[in-house]
């Protein structure tokens, strides 16, 4: 991005007393005394701004925002200082949110496909035609195949009404990549053992933590304001940071100790830690006695996992494992084993996740200062709706965001005695992926179900945001799915490789131009926050709720969208919570104050309330439900793939100013990083004649390949390469992102975790050669 | 405040505005009678770059016919107008081509019809250039209709604004027109036209580009 207008001090004439006799005084000083800021004030630039509140859509942490507008145009995004997700801070991505609204490449009008599917020939149509066609085609599929033949894949803070529409339509097949492609094994581990989700906006008392054991949680680059701030404050307050990652990330550079652990072997290290903590009696004995079952059995099972066993697997010295365990125990319970955000890597992510939960539980961190706090909830009831007649029972009508409650019994979907359809992706279905979350589903398996038309036909697809290609890995399956369905309608703000296949494109208003349903979150404070429009939609776009309501009305499902406008819906919900839309619009967020007695019950003579999915009121170190299914074998270490001498582990991750595959076409974030590069160690690079900046070809064992520039750096293991996620777009409509770098998603593995059904993306092994 | 509704109410419903009593827009038939053809020519140009719906193409054809009846035989734009005449028949291909050129081009990138895209350093829409045009319109009592799906600096809005300005007798409007053309349109429309020609458009849009060049002298 070049700047056309350069800052030119000579243009800043001094405003003297002669300028209308109105010399400025600043902080009591005449302006001449502060010559440097004594610029001529352009009255245009000082025009008043209006201010509205919102929450961010640039990543999935959802920071609270204040957005200022002038002349009907949003001009500045700031943080809402009252919002516990960010306390007033906005990151680079958040600031670049303005460019989502002002991007020239946005989807601006409803479009109809006129060429072959995926060919890219479109015709602008009216909203009426777009919605009429969509309703007609969906009803056609429903009549011919039944309501279950519709799949919904959503990704974003505004996907909720689409989930409601799909549930009202009667399909159980609604999914969001958050489980199968990202955090599933992590959330599930905490759920199974502790009955807690601990995903999304993690409830960690970072400020008071004294010891962070970070398993690739690259918190300074895969950053979320509130979380990163809390961690920085914790470090400032004297916490020790021990960081594990095959790559020396920025977080590694801030750590007290760094281990370049062998890729995919975190589980072995964690098992050895558990072994030491148990055998050397470093655990919280009181906590174990009062709140935990399964300790003795766990003790037996981990005996073989000694630090000496783990050393050759992980390349972490046994003596260090012993020392780290002791150090942590000395600081417990103000300690935390920090899971990677995305835990879809090895062939046993579930075991890795459970080991993390077990360690944290052994250290008694739950409900303790410096550990995991118990969140408070601002109770905002959902609106009264008719029962979802055909969709699976006990479904929570919310999707696509982290901050809602888990279904009371997440496994209720296993047996369905009322004849309702099981999910096509097998999530929550006995004999398939029974422990996968049936609310978010397995997006990877949903694509497969569509492509293979098994276990039953899926003939229509709605996507609400997201990019099936770049957020998943198996392009052939996704392409086949998109080509196979009878009808595909996509709602989004930006064009991308997936919605290129749509029959109807519904352009969404950006998050700066619309209301959305409420953000109901649980932090130390309980809170509910509002998203208000900072300006009118620039183009012929609509918000998700309005789109879904208008579709529902056309399919005789209007009862599920009983309000005339999204504003009425918000007001209705808020009134049930004792407030109103008018009230929340003044402040942006309503809160229940933090309460140490509730947040940290064990520090205040209180008790911890536990309820696991298996019905236990104590933490289950070896969950009984898993034992019944034989899934407790996930606790045991599974040998991971190793590269041949000429191969590398293929790794990928985030950077501070890009989110997933959604920001590469944003000119402001692209200005910070336009393309990704391949991190490779100098030794293997020299062996291959690769120098910094050389174009190299990366090829995996399946023959998939891509060409990318090399970054030769000692900041990575010799057997590992790395690239930042989300690049390598091939949709030419994304004029900034097109052809920049390589799509890691086309090189990552598409194996699945054998217990959860989530993806094991880190199993890919690649060769690198100079082009 | 006059609503600038030419887009949403179809190009030639200016009569409606006159009838609903908003102040100074003249009705089209009055304009036609004048020696100055500029307003109609700008309206034609604006219409040519607007979404080519059946109704709009029909209106464009009527306008063109009226122009052809009154235009002197030696008028420089006559050959282009004559060439345009057989093109003003609605076909779905026209709308597909419009979408390809200006909205969701694939495999080529779209020819962005917004001044701001060409004038702002970060190619953002709704930039300062957009606000300047918005202000210029406001000073003339004009604003873009809310449901038009257009921004003030969309080529359709700007050409329509020029048509309005050209229809005004007063000196201020004349000055605004000159300023708009010389200090704003001249800075982006030539790039827009060049990229449009590069996109290998069908004859309709080749002629639209030629017509715009002829009209503005860019």
A23-32: string of b/e by CB count within 10 Å (b at 16+)? eeeeeeeebe
Q: Touching check for A71 and chain B: CB below 8 Å? A: yes
**What is the pTM assigned to this prediction?**
0.91
**By CA distance, what is B106's nearest residue in A?**
A120
Helix (H, G, I), strand (E, B) or coil at A405: coil
- Residue A64 neighbours by CB distance under 10 Å: 31
CB contact under 8 A, B106 and A540: no
How far CA A31 is from CA of A11, A12, A16, A37, A47, in Å, comes to 17, 14, 8, 8, 21
The tokens describing A756, both together, are: 């959860």
Question: Which residues from B are below 8 Å from A105, CB to CB?
Answer: 110
Q: Are B130 and B151 in contact (CB under 8 A)?
A: yes
Q: Give the pLDDT of residue A200.
A: 82
- Separation of first and last alpha carbons in chain B: 32
Tell me if A495 and B121 make a contact (CB, 8 A cut-off).
no
Kindly report the backbone phi and psi dihedral angles of residue B48, in degrees, each rounded to the nearest multiple of 5, phi listed first.
Answer: -65, -30
Specify whether the CB–CB gap between B218 and B185 falls below 8 A: yes
Residue pair A177/A443 in contact (Cβ under 8 Å)? The answer is: yes
Contacts of A103 in chain B (CB under 8 A): 124-125
- Say if residues A71 and A45 touch (Cβ distance below 8 Å): no
Q: Nearest C-alpha of chain A: how many angstroms from B128?
A: 10
- Domain A648-770: state its class: mainly beta
Mean pLDDT of A225-235: 96
Cβ separation A121–B106 shorter than 8 A: yes
Strands A526-529 and A519-522: antiparallel
For the stretch A7-37, pLDDT in tens is 332 333 333 233 333 333 333 333 333 333 4
pLDDT tens-digit map of B156-185: 999 999 999 998 888 999 999 999 999 999
Mean pLDDT across chain A, nearest whole number? Answer: 90
Taking CA–CA distances from A670, the nearest residue in chain B reads: B122
Predicted confidence (pLDDT) at residue A729 exceeds the cutoff of 60: yes
Task: Write the CATH number of the domain with boundaries A111-181+377-592.
Answer: 3.40.50.740
pLDDT at A400 over 80: no
pLDDT at B92: 93
Using the predicted structure, report yes or no on whether residue A415 has a pLDDT greater than 50.
no
Rounded CA-CA distance A565/A64 in Å is 23
pLDDT at B160: 92
Out of A104, A120, A732, the one facing B123 most closely (by C-beta) is A104
A35 in contact with B, Cβ within 8 Å = no
- Tokens linked to B69: 């009846």
Q: Does A624 touch chain B (CB under 8 A)?
A: no
Q: Does any CB of chain B come closer than 8 Å to the CB of residue A117?
A: no
Residue A209 pLDDT > 80, yes or no?
Answer: yes
> pLDDT (tens digit, 9 = 90+) per residue, A297-348?
999 999 999 999 999 999 999 999 999 999 999 999 999 999 999 999 999 9
**For residue B146, which of B28, B15, B3 has the smallest C-alpha distance?**
B3
**What's the confidence (pLDDT) of residue B31?**
46
Q: Among A3, A4, A733, whose Cβ lies nearest the Cβ of B105?
A: A733
Q: What's the CATH architecture for A204-373+601-635?
A: 3-Layer(aba) Sandwich (3.40)
Q: Residue A343 is encoded by which pair of tokens?
A: 């835990």
Q: Do B126 and A73 touch (CB under 8 A)?
A: yes
Q: Classify strands A619-620 and A292-293 as parallel, antiparallel or unpaired.
A: parallel
Window 653-712 of A, Cβ < 8 Å to B: 667-668, 671
Q: What percent of chain A has pLDDT over 70?
A: 90
Q: What is the pLDDT of residues A96-123, one digit of tens each?
A: 999 999 999 999 999 999 999 999 999 9
Local confidence pLDDT in tens for the 218 residues of chain B: 233 333 333 333 333 332 222 222 334 444 444 457 888 999 999 999 999 999 999 999 999 998 999 888 888 899 999 999 999 999 999 999 999 999 998 777 899 999 999 999 999 999 999 999 999 999 988 888 877 788 999 999 999 999 999 988 889 999 999 999 999 999 999 999 999 999 999 999 999 999 999 999 98
User: Quick one: which of A722, A761, A728 has its CA closest to A661?
Assistant: A728
ipTM of this complex prediction, to 2 decimal places: 0.88
Distances (CA, A) of A103 to A57, A75, A494, B196: 15, 14, 9, 20
The Cα–Cα gap between A427 and A449 comes to: 12
What is the 8-class DSSP label of residue A17? T
Alpha helices for A48-97 (secondary structure H): 92-95
pLDDT at position A95: 96
Residue A438 confidence (pLDDT): 82
Residue A395's pLDDT is what?
44
**Per-residue model confidence (pLDDT) at position A419:** 59
For the segment A645-666, what is each residue's pLDDT rounded down to a tens digit? Answer: 999 999 999 999 999 999 999 9
Q: If you count DSSP H runs as helices and E runs as strands, how many of each does chain B have, helices first? A: 12, 2
What is the C-alpha separation between A492 and A500, in angstroms, rounded?
A: 11
Q: Which residues of B touch A (CB under 8 A)?
A: 51, 92, 95-96, 98-100, 103-110, 112, 114, 117, 120-127, 131, 134, 146, 149, 151
Q: Write the pLDDT tens digit of every residue in A672-685.
A: 999 999 999 999 99
Sketch the domain layout of chain B as residue ranges. Answer: 2-216
pLDDT, position A10 = 33
CB pairs below 8 Å between A and B: how many?
Answer: 87
The residue-averaged pLDDT of A142-170 equals 92
Q: Which of A494, A509, A519 is nearest to A398 (CA)?
A: A519
Give the per-residue pLDDT at A391.
Answer: 54
C-alpha to C-alpha distance for B43 and B41, rounded to whole angstroms = 5
Q: Cβ neighbours of residue B75 under 8 Å, at least 6 residues apart? A: B37
Token pair of A189 as six digits: 């581990």
Tell me the fold of B2-216: TorD-like (1.10.3480)
The helix/strand/coil state of A18 is: coil
Helices (DSSP H) in chain B: which residue ranges? 14-19, 28-33, 38-48, 54-70, 78-84, 92-102, 115-119, 128-139, 155-166, 171-179, 186-198, 203-216
CA distance B216 to B218: 5
Structure token digits, residue A231: 């961690």
Q: Contact, A756 vs A349, CB < 8 A?
A: yes
**How close is the nearest chain A Cα to the Cα of B37, in Å?**
31
DSSP secondary structure string for all residues of B17-41: HHHTT-SSPPPHHHHHHSS--HHHH
C-alpha distances (whole Å) from B160 to each of A566, A572, B21, B95 are: 35, 44, 20, 20
> ∠A223-A228-A230 over CA atoms, to 5°?
160
Q: Which residues on A lie below 8 Å from B120 (Cβ)?
A: 4
Q: Identify the CA nearest to A577 among candidates A394, A377, A395.
A: A377
The residue ranges of every structural domain in chain A are 1-46, 111-181+377-592, 204-373+601-635, 648-770
Give pLDDT, residue A397.
41
Can you list the positions of beta strands (E) in chain B?
2-4, 142-144
B178, with CB counted inside 10 A (0-12, 13-18, 19+), is: exposed
Nearest Cα residue to B3 out of B14, B150, B12 = B14
B83-93 pLDDT, tens per residue? 999 999 999 99
Q: With CB atoms and an 8 Å threshold, state whether B121 touches A4.
A: yes
């Amino acid at each position: 991005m070049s700047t056309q207008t350069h800052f030119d001090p000579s243009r800043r004439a001094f405003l003297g007393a002669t300028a209308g006799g109105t010399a400025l005084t600043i902080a009591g000083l005449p302006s001449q005394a502060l010559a440097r800021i004594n610029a001529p004030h352009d009255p245009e630039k000082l025009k008043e701004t209006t201010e509205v509140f919102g929450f961010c859509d640039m990543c999935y942490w959802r920071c609270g925002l204040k957005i200022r507008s002038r002349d009907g145009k949003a001009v500045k995004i700031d943080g809402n200082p009252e919002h516990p997700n960010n306390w007033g801070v906005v990151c680079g991505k958040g600031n670049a949110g303005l460019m989502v609204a002002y991007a020239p490449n946005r989807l601006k009008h409803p479009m109809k496909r006129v060429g072959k599917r995926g060919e890219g020939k479109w015709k602008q149509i009216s909203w009426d035609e777009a919605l009429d066609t969509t309703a007609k085609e969906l009803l056609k599929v429903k009549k011919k195949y039944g309501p279950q033949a519709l799949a919904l894949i959503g990704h974003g803070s505004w996907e909720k009404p689409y989930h409601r529409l799909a549930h009202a339509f009667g399909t159980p097949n609604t999914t969001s990549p958050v489980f199968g492609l990202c955090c599933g094994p992590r959330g599930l581990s905490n759920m199974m053992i502790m009955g807690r989700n601990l995903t999304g906006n993690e409830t960690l008392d970072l400020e008071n933590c004294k010891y962070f054991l970070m398993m690739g949680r690259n918190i300074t680059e895969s950053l979320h304001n509130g979380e990163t701030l809390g961690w920085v404050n914790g470090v400032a307050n004297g916490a020790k940071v021990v960081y594990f990652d095959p790559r020396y990330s920025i977080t590694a550079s801030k750590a007290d100790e760094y281990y370049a652990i062998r890729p995919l072997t975190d589980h072995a290290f964690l098992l050895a830690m558990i072994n030491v903590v148990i055998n050397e009696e470093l655990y919280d004995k009181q906590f174990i006695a009062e709140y935990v079952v399964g300790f003795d059995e766990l003790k037996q099972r981990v005996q073989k996992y000694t630090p000496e066993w783990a050393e050759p697997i992980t390349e972490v010295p046994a003596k260090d494992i012993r020392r780290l365990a002791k150090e942590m125990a000395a600081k417990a319970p103000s300690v935390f084993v920090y899971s990677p955000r995305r835990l879809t890597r090895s062939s046993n992510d579930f075991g890795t996740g459970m080991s993390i939960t077990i360690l944290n539980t052994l250290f008694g961190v739950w409900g303790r200062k410096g550990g995991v706090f118990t969140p408070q909830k601002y109770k905002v009831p959902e609106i009264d709706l008719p029962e979802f007649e055909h969709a699976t029972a006990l479904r929570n009508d919310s999707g696509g965001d982290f901050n809602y409650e888990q279904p009371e019994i997440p496994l209720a979907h296993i047996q369905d005695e009322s004849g309702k359809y099981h999910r096509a992706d097998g999530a929550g279905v006995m004999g398939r992926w029974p422990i996968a979350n049936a609310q978010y589903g397995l997006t990877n398996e949903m694509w497969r179900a569509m492509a293979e038309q098994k276990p039953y036909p899926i003939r229509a697809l709605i996507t609400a945001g997201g990019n099936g290609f770049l957020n998943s890995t198996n392009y052939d399956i996704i392409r086949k799915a998109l080509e196979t369905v009878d009808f595909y309608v996509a709602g989004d703000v930006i064009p991308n490789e997936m919605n290129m296949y749509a029959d109807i494109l519904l352009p969404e208003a950006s998050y700066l131009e619309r209301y959305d349903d409420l953000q109901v979150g649980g932090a130390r404070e309980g809170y509910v926050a509002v998203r208000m429009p900072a300006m009118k939609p620039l183009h012929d776009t609509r918000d998700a709720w309005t789109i879904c309501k208008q579709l529902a009305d056309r399919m005789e499902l209007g009862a599920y969208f009983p309000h005339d406008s999204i504003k009425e819906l918000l007001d209705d919900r808020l009134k049930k919570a004792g407030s109103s839309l008018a009230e929340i619009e003044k402040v942006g967020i309503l809160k229940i104050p933090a309460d140490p007695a509730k947040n940290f019950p064990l520090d205040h003579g209180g008790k911890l309330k536990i309820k696991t999915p298996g019905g236990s009121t104590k933490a289950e170190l070896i969950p009984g439900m898993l034992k019944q299914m034989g899934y407790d074998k996930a606790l045991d270490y599974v040998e991971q793939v190793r590269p041949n001498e000429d191969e590398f582990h293929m790794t990928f991750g985030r950077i501070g100013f890009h989110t997933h595959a959604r920001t590469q076409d944003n000119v402001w974030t692209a200005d910070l990083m336009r393309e990704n590069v391949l991190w490779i160690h100098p030794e293997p690079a020299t062996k291959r004649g690769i120098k910094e900046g050389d174009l190299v070809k990366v090829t995996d064992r399946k023959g998939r390949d891509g060409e990318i520039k090399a970054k030769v750096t000692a900041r990575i293991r010799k057997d590992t390469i790395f690239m930042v996620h989300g690049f390598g777009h091939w949709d030419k409509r994304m004029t900034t992102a097109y052809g920049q770098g390589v799509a890691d998603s086309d090189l990552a593995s598409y194996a699945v975790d054998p217990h959860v059904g989530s993806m094991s993306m880190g199993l890919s092994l690649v060769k690198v050669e100079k082009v | 405040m006059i609503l600038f509704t030419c887009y949403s109410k179809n190009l030639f419903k200016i009569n409606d505005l006159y009838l609903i009593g908003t102040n100074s827009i003249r009705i089209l038939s009055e304009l036609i009678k004048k020696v100055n053809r500029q307003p109609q020519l700008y309206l034609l140009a604006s219409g040519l770059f607007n979404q080519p719906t059946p109704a709009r193409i029909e209106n464009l054809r009527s306008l063109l016919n009226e122009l052809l009846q009154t235009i002197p035989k030696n008028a420089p734009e006559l050959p282009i107008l004559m060439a345009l005449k057989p093109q003003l028949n609605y076909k779905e291909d026209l709308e597909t081509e419009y979408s390809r050129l200006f909205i969701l081009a694939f495999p080529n990138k779209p020819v962005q019809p917004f001044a701001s895209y060409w004038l702002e350093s970060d190619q953002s829409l709704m930039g300062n250039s957009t606000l300047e045009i918005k202000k210029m319109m406001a000073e003339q009592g004009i604003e873009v209709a809310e449901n038009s799906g257009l921004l003030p600096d969309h080529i359709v809005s700007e050409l329509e604004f020029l048509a309005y300005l050209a229809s005004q007798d007063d000196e201020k409007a004349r000055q605004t027109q000159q300023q708009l053309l010389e200090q704003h349109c001249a800075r982006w429309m030539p790039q827009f036209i060049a990229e449009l020609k590069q996109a290998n458009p069908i004859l309709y849009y080749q002629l639209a580009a030629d017509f715009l060049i002829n009209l503005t002298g860019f």
